[in-house]
Copies of this chain bind each other. A is one copy, B any other.
C-alpha cells in the first residue's frame, strides 16, 4: 500500500443476502490484501428508492439509486456487481458490458441457456475491448476448495475415478413453510437444482479440471402445494431436490444430489474425489478443513489427514490470521473481489468466466431435460 492506487468505482445492483455478502467483500478486500486498484463502494441500487437508500447506508455505499440503467450508464462507475435474482441477470449484465463496465454477476448466470448464451457472447465481445466479466461461484475461493484444486493440478490424487458431491439444506422440509418466489418457476427459474446444484456442478468441474459429459437425473417436488401469504395455498412449480449420475471428460463417474429436504443439514456441501493416487474430501459444515488421503503412504500409517487450511502456505490464507484461526462464509466473497480486481488491473479474464457460467447452465438444462424425458442427456460443448 506504499503507492497511491487508482480507484475502482463499484455499483452494486441488488442489496439482499448476496448484496450484504458482496458489500462486506468490497469493504474488506483492500484491508487484508494489497490490491492494485482501490475499490470505492460508490452506489447501491434497488427497485425501491427508500429501501435502496436504507441499504446503502447500512451496507456502506456512498450513494443509492433505484434506476440501474442510469447507474450502468454513469461515467464514474467502473464495475457493476449484479446481485439481483436470476431473471434480471442477462439484461443488466449485457447492458453493463455494453457500457464498458466490468461485470461481476451472481450465479447461476441466468435462468435459461438462451440467456446465458447471450451473456457469454456479450462477455466475449467485451473482453476484446478489455472489459471483464466474472460469474460469482464464490465457493471456489474457500481456501480448502482452492487447495483441493491445487492438489489435483499437482497430480497428488492421480487420475480421478469417482466424484461424489451433494449440497444438502433443509429449509423447506416443513410442508407448511410458505410459498416464496424461490418456489415459483417464473421467477426463480429452478429450485434446488439451479440454486445449489449449480454450485456442486461448478465446484466438481473446477476442482477436477474436467467437464460433465452426460447425465441421468431425477428431479422431485415432495411438497406440491404450500400456504401463500394471503392464507390460500399455491402450487410449488420448481424442484425440491435433484439427484443425478454422470460422466466426466476424464472418465470419472459422478454422483450428485442437491436438496432442500435434507432434514438437519443446513448448508452441507460435501465433495469427495477418489483418484488413482489418493483422495480428497470436503464438507462446508467444517469449511476450514480439507481431507487428503495419499495412497503412496505405507499402509501402516496411511489415513485421511485432516488438513486445517489455515496456514500461510494455503491459498488466500496468508492475508488473514495465524494458523488455526479459521475463516467464515463471507471470506470467499472477499477472495472473489481480490481475484477480480487483480484480473482487471492485469488485463486478464477472471475465472469463472461467463462461458464457464454458460457451461454450468447447460449442465443444469441437461439435468432437467433428463428428468423430464427419463433419458440420458449429453451436455453440448
A275 at the interface (CB under 8 A from B): yes
Nearest-CB residue, chain B, relative to A147: B300
A319 to chain B, nearest CB (A): 10
Interface size on A, residues (CB 8 A): 101
Nearest residue, chain B, Cβ from A281: B264
**Chain B residue contacts of A291, Cβ below 8 A:** 303
Q: Does A178 contact B (CB under 8 A)?
A: no
State the A residues within 8 Å of B (CB). Answer: 1-2, 17, 20-21, 23-24, 27-28, 31-32, 54, 57-60, 147, 151, 156-157, 161-162, 164, 166, 168-171, 173-175, 216-218, 220, 222, 241, 243-245, 247, 251, 253-255, 257, 259, 261-268, 274-279, 284-288, 291-295, 298-308, 310-314, 321-331, 374-376
* Residues in B neighbouring A264, C-beta threshold 8 A: 274, 278-279, 293, 295, 302-304
The 10 closest A-B pairs by CB, nearest first: A267-B324, A266-B324, A264-B293, A328-B328, A305-B305, A303-B305, A325-B329, A303-B307, A266-B323, A327-B328
With A and B bound together, what is the CA distance between A186 and B164 in angstroms? 31
Check A305 against B304 for contact (C-beta < 8 Å).
yes
CB<8 Å pairs between A and B, sample of 15: A24-B28, A161-B173, A162-B241, A168-B274, A175-B276, A220-B253, A243-B255, A263-B293, A266-B324, A268-B324, A285-B308, A291-B303, A304-B306, A305-B306, A328-B328
Q: Across the interface, do A57 and B1 meet the contact criterion of CB distance under 8 Å?
A: yes
Q: Is the CB of B262 within 8 A of A274?
A: yes
* Interface-central residue, A265, A305, A311, A327, by most chain B CB under 10 Å: A305
Residue ID in chain B nearest A220 by CB atoms: B253
CB contact between A313 and one of B274, B298, B324 (< 8 Å): that residue: B298
Q: A275-B263, A329-B326 are in contact. Are A301 and B305 (CB under 8 A)?
A: yes
For A308, the chain B residues whose CB sits under 8 A away are 266, 285, 303
Taking CB atoms, residues of chain B closer than 8 Å to A57 are: 1
Question: Measured between C-beta atoms, what is the minimum distance from A23 to chain B in Å?
Answer: 7
Are A324's CB and B1's CB within 8 A?
no
Instruction: A55 to B267: give the CA distance in the assembly, Å.
Output: 37
| Chain B residues with CB under 8 A of A294 | 301
B216 touching A218, Cβ below 8 Å: yes
* A247: chain B residues within 8 A (beta carbon): 218
Distance (whole angstroms) from the CB of A16 to the closest CB of chain B: 11
Q: State the CA gap A241–B295 with chains docked (Å).
A: 19
Complex contact B324–A284 (CB within 8 A):
yes
Nearest CB to that of A277 among chain B residues? Answer: B263
Give the distance in Å from the alpha carbon of A217 to the alpha carbon of B247 in the complex: 12
- Distance, CA A268 to CA B292, complexed state (A): 16
A274 contact from B58, B261, B266, B287, Cβ within 8 A: B261
Task: Judge whether B322 and A17 touch: CB under 8 Å.
Answer: yes
**A323 neighbours in B (Cβ, 8 Å):** 171, 266-267
From A376, which residue of chain B is reached at the shortest CB distance?
Answer: B374
Known: A164-B166, A266-B308, A284-B324. A222 touches B251 (CB 8 A): yes
Name the CB-closest residue of B to A328: B328
Are A292 and B303 in touch, CB under 8 angstroms?
Answer: yes
In the complex, residue of chain B having the shortest beta-carbon distance to the beta carbon of A311: B299
What's the Cα separation between A277 and B164 when bound, in Å? 26
